[in-house]
Amino acid sequence: MGKTCQICGKNSGIYPLCTTHLKWKEEGKVVKCLHCGKWHLTDNPCSCKKTLKYTELPTEGFEICVSCGEKTKGYAFCKNCWNKYTEAEMLSILNNQQQEKKQDQKAIKTETEKEFFDVSKEQNKVVVIDENNKAKCITCGKHTDGLLFCPNCYHNYKNKELLFKITNCSNVELLDVDYEGRYTCKDGHIVKSKSERDIDNYLFEHGISHAYERELPYGATDKEVLHPDFYLPHYLGENKHVYIEHWGYNENNIQYTKTKKFKMPIYEKLKVTLICTYEKTDMGKIETVLDRKLNKQFIKENKINFEDTTN
């Protein structure tokens, strides 16, 4: 079995680096840690996180001269600089550069964190796109180079499905930054939103047996299944199961509308006992809402309970 690349984990044959990172090594983008011997990106500290202070000049681990930037074959200094400086001067240059690099990385991290928290404060506010200046991030309003997202928001949301409300063709509001995320509940369930987490935690804290997104078949093929948000087995008695469907932001989301219009007739046809909860009206007081909606005296069997017929 071959080795795996120490940078990305891909198969690298007999080498410690894959083809891509071997090329990066030649370009000086990858270096070898002299403490642990592992390769890492030049711009990132080694995972061993040890601070290195050189007491002698290294003969490996470098691809470019730390003084002038010329290519080397493992040495920290090229031949010209080797002849130009004394050994003490080269050690001083090398150690000073390491310290400056560490300080720069710390400064970059601090600035990045500051920018992130600044952006977080601006989330869920309306961004007004000016017809004469469309270079604004649609989530936070910061300047971009004509793109929809600034680098920060792109990094935060690139793997998420977001919900926006657009009015007057220019006002853009991010409705739910938590949609399609990963949230761990008190019982260990992984759910997609904070609202689902709150519902799951309620069920757990009240000792109500439940499963998250358990399959509910409605047809003859494997693809004909629904995934209600929560399944409460035998909640109303032997084989009298209850399902909970939590509906998020509605009239502003086409996909939401399509999903609801598709699911509801199937629930009615299957005669399942369904309880509906809603992001807009329920989540601000979810404890009280679930106390009422999960009260067995108020639940109609084989019916859709608490359906909002206005949407």
* Same structural domain, 251 and 161: no
Q: Provide the pLDDT for residue 209.
A: 94
**pLDDT over 90, % of the chain:** 27
* Same structural domain, 149 and 59: no
Domain boundaries, position 160: 123-174
pLDDT top residue among 31 and 226: 226
Q: Provide the pLDDT for residue 276.
A: 95
Measured distance CA(94)–CA(62) in Å, rounded: 11
Query: Is residue 193 in some structural domain?
Result: yes
290, 295, 299, 301: CA torsion to nearest 10? 110
* Same structural domain, 194 and 289: yes
Answer whether 0.75 is exceeded by the pTM.
Answer: no
* Same structural domain, 192 and 296: yes
Determine the average pLDDT of the residues in 85-113. 63
Q: Provide the pLDDT for residue 265.
A: 93
Determine the average pLDDT of the residues in 195-224. 92
Q: Which of 144, 174, 204 is the last residue of a domain?
A: 174
Determine the average pLDDT of the residues in 122-141. 66
* Same structural domain, 80 and 139: no
Query: Is residue 310 in some structural domain?
Result: no
Query: Is residue 56 in some structural domain?
Result: yes
* Same structural domain, 202 and 292: yes
Q: Which of 174, 208, 237 is the last residue of a domain?
A: 174
Q: Provide the pLDDT for residue 100.
A: 55
Query: Is residue 110 in some structural domain?
Result: no
Q: Provide the pLDDT for residue 109.
A: 44
Q: Provide the pLDDT for residue 87.
A: 84
CATH number at residue 268: 3.40.960
* Same structural domain, 238 and 160: no
Mean pLDDT score of the chain:
77
Closest CA to 37 of 26, 46, 27, 45: 46
User: Which tokens go with 96?
Assistant: 């000073």
Determine the average pLDDT of the residues in 24-49. 70
Q: Which of 156, 174, 192 is the last residue of a domain?
A: 174
Q: Provide the pLDDT for residue 110.
A: 47
242 pLDDT higher than 90: yes
Pairing of strands 304-305, 273-278: parallel
Query: Is residue 268 in some structural domain?
Result: yes
The domain total for the chain is: 3
Question: pLDDT confidence of 119, banded at 50, 70, 90?
Answer: very low
* Same structural domain, 277 and 194: yes
Query: Is residue 111 in some structural domain?
Result: no
Query: Is residue 48 in some structural domain?
Result: yes
Query: Is residue 113 in some structural domain?
Result: no
pLDDT top residue among 162 and 75: 75
User: What is 64-130 written as a DSSP string?
Assistant: E-TTT--EEEE-SS-HHHHHHS-HHHHHHHHHHHHHHHHHHHHHHHHHHHHHHHHHHHHTTSEEEPB
- Report yes or no: 245 and 276 within 8 Å, Cβ to Cβ: yes
Q: Provide the pLDDT for residue 134.
A: 64
Measured distance CA(16)–CA(10) in Å, rounded: 10
* Same structural domain, 237 and 293: yes
Question: pLDDT confidence of 1, banded at 50, 70, 90?
Answer: low
pLDDT top residue among 249 and 82: 82
Determine the average pLDDT of the residues in 2-31. 79
61 pLDDT higher than 60: yes
Q: Provide the pLDDT for residue 181.
A: 58
